[in-house]
Amino acid sequence: MASPIPCVAVRGSTGINLAQGPPSYEPVKTFPRDDSKTCKAMLFSPDGRYFAWINGAIIKIILCENWKLVAEIARPKVCAIQFSTLSTYLATWEPSFVTQTSPQGTENLHIWKSENGELVHSFVQKKQVNWEPQWSSDEKLCGLLNGTNVLLYENNNFDKYVYKISGAKVAKFSIAPGNAPYHILCYMPGKPGQPSLGRLFKYPKFEIGDALASKSFFQADRIDIYWNRRGTNALLMTSIEVDKSGASYYGKQTLHYISTKGDTAIVTLSKEGPIHAVEWSPANNEFCVVYGFMPAKATLFNLKCEAVFEFGTLHRNCVYYNPHGNILLLAGFGNLRGGIELWDVANRKLIAKTDAPDTTMLQWSPDGEHFVTATTAPRLRMGNGFKIWHYTGSLVYQRPWNNQEELWEVIWQSFPPNTFPQKPISYKAVEGIVTNSSQSQAPKEAYRPPSARGQNITFKLHDDIEPPSKPGAEPNPSKAALKMKKNREAKKAKKELEFSGSAINGQVTSTSSTSTSVKMELTDDPEKNKKIKKVKSKLEQISKLKEQLKAGKQLEINQLDKIKKEDELLKELEELTL
């Protein structure tokens, strides 16, 4: 039986509509298009059974197998929606208001049956941040953040909670994927001067002494939780909004590891700077982190938090695994130029590179072979539209918007796991389309200062970019180890320079600008001797550069500047030996 064709849902100023994905791209004629200009949100259920959206007046739920309308819910103030894990329920959130009859606030979080829109239960949930109910994978357990407590319900009976996590103030929680036994990770902010905590509990034991694992950390204004697909391992990225050291505009982030076996660790990153993106492989045994000041590093880690592969350094800040986990996409969006790399994960091999400038969102197709990029408002109001790509880097479809219209969101239709079989990776690009923007252009020349213009000088751009590599014996060196290594290399280089020239019977030889030898005796002062050796090393470098220049080699600007300082260094050397 042939695999189904995933559809693409599009939301914008012209309403909501659906189109088929590759290879047809035709509109879905049976879908009841909504032309409302106020569609606030849209969502496919996790298994792809339902599609729901808000048009500013009502909530509509569509059955995806025939695109027929199954429910309409008149809630004009709803601005956020969320399906349960098995698509049985749809949760909605709208602002809450204090009235005479409702001094605690009006009920604003509602849970409905997806199949017919029947109301199941309503709650008061004042804050929109972390408003979503969380279900276990089998929907037998549901959790809700209520103030600083977590309320837990069983078998979708919302009349009364069965357990409450309240030993400490909880700011965020996350129910691990997977069936029983259930695991719940809680973030508990610390009081001033005290550490914040990430505690992992096994349902239904929630006393502090019952925690399977606990991770403490300072400097955490917020926390992001990333579970692997099985729900056995999690990453906690802690963030502070402002880096008091002034080193980073993005604040400061730290990555921690925690497992249901009770293991904890800090993920040591080998480059200073912010953590841009984190994602687990769908295969569960690896995760990728993009981090560091630009150009950023991308590193693959195993479950021991050891670096197993370095993707090198480039201007990137995003990471996306395809649904099968066999292809990894690294990209640089936002204030970067839109470069995309696609990697064969198993073979650690680059498949293709391409560019998608002005991209504000990217999502893999459930078939694992295609992905969509889009330029959306309000981030960018000009040049809105979306493109569909093949993983070999070929652009296979594009849909531009005119300047009078805005595109807000593009999402793929969801499907149950294993709907699409994993295919062998091909390195041969499929046939694509050619656009004006993708046609080749003359390469832009690098900037040269006025003093260097008109000269035949070669210099290397992006000398801080590193190629991909596999870590050696020390898979994930600490900051102290990296500093020691750097010092060792500097001392070795210095020693080589000090003894590379002629040093006979305590005499140091230096070549002057007239190619005559100048011999200088070392003094009895150790400090002066250090300075003499330093100056002598610079003169020897200049001598070598002059020989290269005489042989016809093209030198860099900084090398030419060094040669100009020769007379100044000779004078300094004379003064030191007086």
The DSSP secondary structure of 236-268, one letter per residue, reads: EEEEESS-TTSS-TT-EEEEEEEETTS-EEE--
Q: Write the DSSP assignment of 271-287 as a string of letters.
A: S-S-EEEEEE-TTSSEE
Q: What residue has token string 């395809």?
A: 322
Q: What is the pLDDT of residue 494?
A: 45
Q: What is the pLDDT of residue 455?
A: 58
CA dist 272 and 269 (Å) reads 8
Q: How do the pLDDT tens digits run along the chain, 578 residues long?
A: 567 899 999 999 999 999 999 988 999 999 998 999 999 999 999 999 999 999 989 999 999 999 999 999 999 999 999 999 999 999 999 999 888 888 888 999 999 999 999 999 999 998 888 999 999 999 999 999 998 899 999 999 999 999 999 878 899 999 999 888 999 999 998 888 888 899 999 999 988 888 999 988 887 788 999 999 999 999 999 988 766 655 555 678 899 999 999 999 999 999 999 999 999 999 878 999 999 998 999 999 999 999 999 998 999 999 999 999 999 999 999 888 899 999 999 999 999 999 999 999 999 999 999 999 999 999 988 889 999 999 999 999 999 998 889 999 999 999 998 899 999 999 998 888 876 554 434 444 555 566 555 555 544 444 456 777 777 544 455 556 666 665 665 555 445 444 444 332 333 333 333 333 344 456 667 778 888 888 888 898 888 888 888 877 777 777 777 888 888 888 888 877 76
Q: Is 576 helix (H, G, I), strand (E, B) or coil?
A: helix
CA dist 573 and 241 (Å) reads 51
Q: What is the pLDDT of residue 168?
A: 80
pTM for this one? 0.75
Instruction: Tell me which amino acid residue 376 is.
Output: T
Q: Any residues with CB less than 8 A from the CB of 143 and at least 6 apart, and which?
A: 133, 134, 150, 151, 152, 153, 173, 175, 184
Reported residue count of the chain is: 578
Q: Which of 148, 130, 298, 285 is nearest to 223 (CA)?
A: 130
Q: Is 501 helix (H, G, I), strand (E, B) or coil?
A: coil
Question: E-strand spans in 433-565?
Answer: 503-504, 507-511, 517-521
Omega before residue 378 within 30° of 0, cis: yes
Question: E-strand spans in 430-479?
Answer: none
Nearest-Å Rg of the Cα atoms of the chain is 31
Q: What is the pLDDT of residue 243?
A: 61
CB–CB of 569/542 below 8 Å?
Answer: yes
CB–CB of 135/152 below 8 Å?
Answer: no
Q: What is the pLDDT of residue 435?
A: 67
Q: What is the pLDDT of residue 492?
A: 53
